[in-house]
């Protein structure tokens, strides 16, 4: 049962990654096409307008969307690797460590990725400006889809309770200490 639920939660986390990626790509395409005003330090001729991707705030927003999306992808990769090791390892001690790591990171991947999808979709609407709420752009649909992902397979609040009450105490806290040590070793 827990294996099935962990797989389902990872799948919903990956849905968050996909929504973030799509919202980012959509906003980027719009920013490359939409002309408005003049960007600072522009080389465009006088009276010409620049595409909004050249405006610093839009560029910053797009970079934030990309960074958030990449972070969700990374935590889902970590979770998928832990899930694979939990299934495939044969040494009982190593298998237990992998199962506990998977148990620890799964609620983080699900909740983080879907919460970030909400943020990225919202930023995508911001890039679209007033057009963000117009159905023809598609940006509003990403926002709706991202919002519902946070309640699939256990709301993100339930994931937080599960993490704090059941996952952090695994093996007397050794699982989370091992995860932190591993992060420090690889940073």
pTM of the model: 0.91
Token pair 């595409």: residue: 51
Distance, CA of 177 to CA of 157 (rounded, Å):
23
Q: What is the DSSP code string of 47-75?
A: TPPPBGGGSHHHHHHHHHHHHHHHHHHHH
Spatial CB neighbours of 128, under 8 Å, sequence gap ≥ 6: 27, 30, 137, 139
Determine which one of 119, 153, 174, 179 is catalytic: 153
Burial 111-131 (b: 16+ CB within 10 A, else e): bbbbbbbbebbbbbbebbeee
> CA-CA distances (angstroms) from residue 169 to 101, 104, 162, 175, 184?
12, 10, 10, 8, 20
**Residue 71 buriedness (CB in 10 A; 0-12 / 13-18 / 19+):** middle
Active site residue 21: no
Q: Which parts of the chain fold into alpha helices (H)? A: 2-33, 56-88, 92-128, 139-149, 156-162, 174-185
DSSP one-letter code for 10: H
For every one of its 187 residues, what pLDDT tens digit does the chain have, with 9 covering 90 and above? 456 787 899 999 999 999 999 999 999 999 999 999 988 887 777 788 999 999 999 999 999 999 999 999 999 999 999 999 999 999 999 999 999 999 999 999 999 999 999 999 999 999 999 887 777 888 999 999 999 999 988 888 989 999 999 999 999 999 999 999 998 998 8
- Domain-wise residue ranges, the chain: 2-185
Q: What CATH class is the domain 2-185?
A: mainly alpha
């Amino acid at each position: 049962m827990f294996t099935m639920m962990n797989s389902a939660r990872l799948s919903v986390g990956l849905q968050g990654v996909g929504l973030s990626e799509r919202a980012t790509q959509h906003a980027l395409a719009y920013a490359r096409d939409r002309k408005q005003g003049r960007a600072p330090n522009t080389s465009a001729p006088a009276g010409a307008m620049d595409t909004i991707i050249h405006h610093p705030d839009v560029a910053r927003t797009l970079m934030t969307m990309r960074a958030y999306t990449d972070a969700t992808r990374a935590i889902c990769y970590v979770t998928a690797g832990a899930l694979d090791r939990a299934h495939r390892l044969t040494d009982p001690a190593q298998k237990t460590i992998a199962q506990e790591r998977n148990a620890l990171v799964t609620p983080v991947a699900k909740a983080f990725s879907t919460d970030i999808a909400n943020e990225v979709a919202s930023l995508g609407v911001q890039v679209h400006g007033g057009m963000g709420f117009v159905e023809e752009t598609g940006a509003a649909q990403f926002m709706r889809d991202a919002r519902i992902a946070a309640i699939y397979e256990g709301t993100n609040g339930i994931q937080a309770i599960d993490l704090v009450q059941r996952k952090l105490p695994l093996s007397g806290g050794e699982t989370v200490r091992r995860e932190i040590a591993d992060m420090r070793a690889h940073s």
